[in-house]
Amino acid sequence: MATLHSPVISRQNVLFMPSVFNETMQLLVDAHDYFQRFGNDDQSRIEPQLKALYSCEMSRITLRLSSIMAWIMVQRAVFSGKIPPTDAARQYHLDFADVCTVDNRVLHGILPSYVCYLLDRSRELYERVMRLDGQVHQLH
């Protein structure tokens, strides 16, 4: 049985990184607050041909954050012993990389600035978690 100081437990704890969970939760709250308070007003001010783009990018933010949260929950399950690490590495990956790693910087000045801020933060967080996911798969 692994002890608290064994390399396996230490590696899993380092990879889990509670700060990633906290940052994801804070970004979820920030996005929710923005969309609740300012989303409708911002959407009413943008040009009609940009409304679909605005909606797609709101969905991209949501997809990034929900994918990260799902990945975090799997890592928590591994850490607590509910899912064997090899099963998690084989069956659960960070999803939708082709959609979530799109660089949205071209949208600065086109979409509202806070939407661009959320796009940038969610992409950076997703890319960090994608690197962690790669580390998890290297371990198992």
Burial class (CB in 10 A: 0-12, 13-18, 19+), 63: middle
Higher pLDDT, 110 or 89: 110
Spell out the domain ranges in the chain: 17-139
User: What amino acid occupies position 95?
Assistant: D
User: Please, what is the Cα angle at 119 between 74 and 68, to 5 degrees?
Assistant: 0
How far apart (Å, rounded) are the C-alpha atoms in residues 31 and 117? 10
What's the rounded mean pLDDT across residues 63-78? 94
**Per-residue model confidence (pLDDT) at position 97:** 96
Report the mean per-residue pLDDT for the chain: 87
Asked whether the predicted pLDDT for residue 12 surpasses 70, the reply is no
Q: What is the pLDDT of residues 16-66, one digit of tens each?
A: 578 899 999 999 999 999 999 999 999 899 999 999 999 999 999 999 999
CATH number of 17-139: 1.10.8.930
Residue 2 is predicted with a pLDDT of: 42
